[in-house]
């Protein structure tokens, strides 16, 4: 079911119409919400734009346990989705002062951009019965009594595109993961005088074979030098370039060059290997971004400024968390979801820490 309400909670009055009994649960709705910023702060391409489209899933459940299971499922979906985009992410339970209004708790999904700033690319909210009570969303249970539903939300916006562009971009342009690249392979003819027809015929044959294997590809037959073509396609981020010249035909190979510079030859009759090369390219993009993220997460025991993300032992008190934000001039991302024992003290009040608080400069 696809809805276009004007705000996150606009469909909740309709929930009370759709839900009558336990047989109607769980109810899971997908919606696209478009909103406009009213404030006049400076916009940033792909990151902070005037018109925003949110892609959201809203669910209603019989019990808190069912809703919690949905939250866990949402987290697993996010892991798979962002892995396909070669984006390493952090899940953090937002502090009370930064959770979504009306939520029992909120989980933020963040990436670390090359600038050292964090970017929120998604979120998961557990509402418990807060909105159900506000909008009178009830169901009749097996016991014949009426109960309030438990609700959740999971969603993201076009900021995901900003993360892909920012994290996988370099001085040559953008590197697009093959999972979302509209053109996965570009075939560049290396023309030598007297071999024009032979080379172009081979390029067309390779293109035809790749397309038959479900690999989107194109032959660049423009009247430009190979070097200019290489530059153009690197700028556009096509994952793999295939070069075919008379020597390649003679040797029975094609030369492949990945967007990250790895170059090799594969046998002409082994074009199936291109699929593996695309997967390995995506994995290299992920590993590179993951390395950057890990190298820029700093666990510190006292108040000191660092680039990237810092994790500081925290007693859990709001005033201490707010003090950390103020002194470090950073925003709280929240607490790691994974539980661990901490034998540290809060650097603000000196009391025993109960968790780590993540902070970063953010967009």
Poorest-confidence range of 45-59, 97-111, 154-168? 45-59
Whether the pLDDT of residue 206 is over 80: the answer is: yes
Q: Going by C-beta distance under 8 Å and a sequence separation of 6 or more, which residues neighbour residue 7?
A: 33, 35
- Mean predicted confidence (pLDDT) in 231-258: 97
pLDDT at 5: 44
Beginning with the edge strand found earlier in the chain, give each strand of the sheet holding 185-189 in spatial order. 217-219, 185-189, 240-244, 253-258, 263-267
Domains of the chain: 2-170 (3.30.930.10), 185-280 (3.40.50.800), 298-360 (3.30.110.30)
pLDDT at 2: 40
pLDDT at 54: 86
Query: From residue 158, how far is each of 38, 47, 349, 356 by CA, in Å?
Result: 18, 8, 40, 29
pLDDT at 34: 82
- Mean predicted confidence (pLDDT) in 140-147: 95
Query: From residue 109, how far is each of 112, 138, 185, 216, 299 by CA, in Å?
Result: 11, 30, 31, 31, 19
Poorest-confidence range of 1-10, 85-94, 253-262, 271-280? 1-10
Whether the pLDDT of residue 331 is over 80: the answer is: yes
48-55: long-range contacts, CB 8 A cutoff, minimum separation 24: 48/363, 49/158, 52/157, 52/158, 53/157, 53/158, 54/8, 54/155, 54/156, 54/157, 55/30, 55/155, 55/156, 55/157
Work out the mean pLDDT of the chain and round it to a whole number: 93
CA atoms within a 13 Å half-sphere pointing along the CA-CB vector of 288: 17
Whether the pLDDT of residue 326 is over 90: the answer is: yes
Question: Across the strands, what pairs with 279?
Answer: none
- Mean predicted confidence (pLDDT) in 137-150: 95
CA angle at residue 356 from 351 to 359, to 5 degrees? 115
Whether the pLDDT of residue 44 is over 90: the answer is: no
Query: From residue 101, how far is each of 71, 95, 106, 204 by CA, in Å?
Result: 17, 12, 9, 57
Which comes out higher in pLDDT, residue 132 or 5? Answer: 132
CB atoms within 10 A of CB 214: 8
Give the Cα separation of 259 and 168 in Å (integer).
11
pLDDT at 43: 76
Percent of the chain with pLDDT over 70: 96
pTM here is 0.90
pLDDT digits (tens, 9 = 90+) for 94-118: 999 999 999 999 999 999 999 999 9
Helix axes 273-295, 159-168, angle to 10 degrees: 90
Give the Cα separation of 168 and 282 in Å (integer).
10
């Amino acid at each position: 079911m696809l809805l276009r309400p004007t705000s996150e909670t606009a469909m909740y009055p309709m929930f009370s119409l759709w839900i009558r009994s336990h047989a109607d649960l769980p109810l899971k709705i997908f919606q696209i919400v478009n909103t406009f910023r009213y404030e006049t702060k400076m916009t940033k391409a792909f990151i902070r734009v005037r018109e925003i489209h949110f892609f959201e899933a809203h669910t209603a459940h019989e019990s808190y346990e069912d809703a919690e299971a949905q939250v866990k499922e949402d987290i697993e979906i996010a892991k798979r989705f962002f892995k396909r985009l070669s984006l390493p992410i952090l899940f953090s339970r937002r502090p009370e002062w930064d959770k979504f209004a009306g939520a029992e708790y909120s989980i933020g999904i963040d990436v670390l951009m090359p600038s050292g700033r964090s970017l929120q690319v998604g979120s998961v909210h557990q509402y418990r019965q807060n909105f159900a009570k506000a909008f009178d969303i009830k169901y009749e249970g097996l016991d014949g009594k009426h109960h309030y539903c438990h609700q959740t939300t999971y969603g993201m916006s076009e900021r995901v595109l900003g993360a892909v562009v920012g994290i996988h971009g370099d001085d040559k342009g953008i590197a697009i993961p093959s999972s979302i690249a509209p053109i996965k392979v570009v075939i560049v003819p290396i023309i030598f005088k007297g071999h024009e027809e032979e080379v172009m015929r081979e390029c067309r044959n390779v293109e035809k074979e790749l397309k038959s294997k479900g690999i989107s590809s194109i032959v660049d037959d423009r009247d430009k030098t190979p070097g200019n073509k290489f530059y153009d396609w690197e700028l556009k981020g096509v994952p793999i370039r295939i070069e075919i010249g008379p020597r390649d035909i003679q040797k029975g190979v094609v030369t492949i060059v990945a967007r990250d510079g790895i170059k090799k030859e594969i046998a002409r009759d082994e074009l199936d290997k291109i699929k593996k090369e695309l997967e390995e390219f995506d994995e290299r993009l992920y590993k590179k971004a993951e390395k950057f993220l890990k190298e820029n997460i700093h666990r510190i025991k006292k108040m000191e400024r660092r680039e990237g993300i810092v994790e500081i032992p925290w007693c859990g008190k709001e005033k201490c968390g707010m003090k950390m934000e103020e002194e470090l001039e950073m925003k709280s991302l929240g607490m790691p979801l994974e539980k661990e024992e901490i034998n540290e003290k809060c650097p603000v009040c000196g009391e025993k820490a109960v968790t780590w608080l993540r902070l970063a400069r953010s967009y």
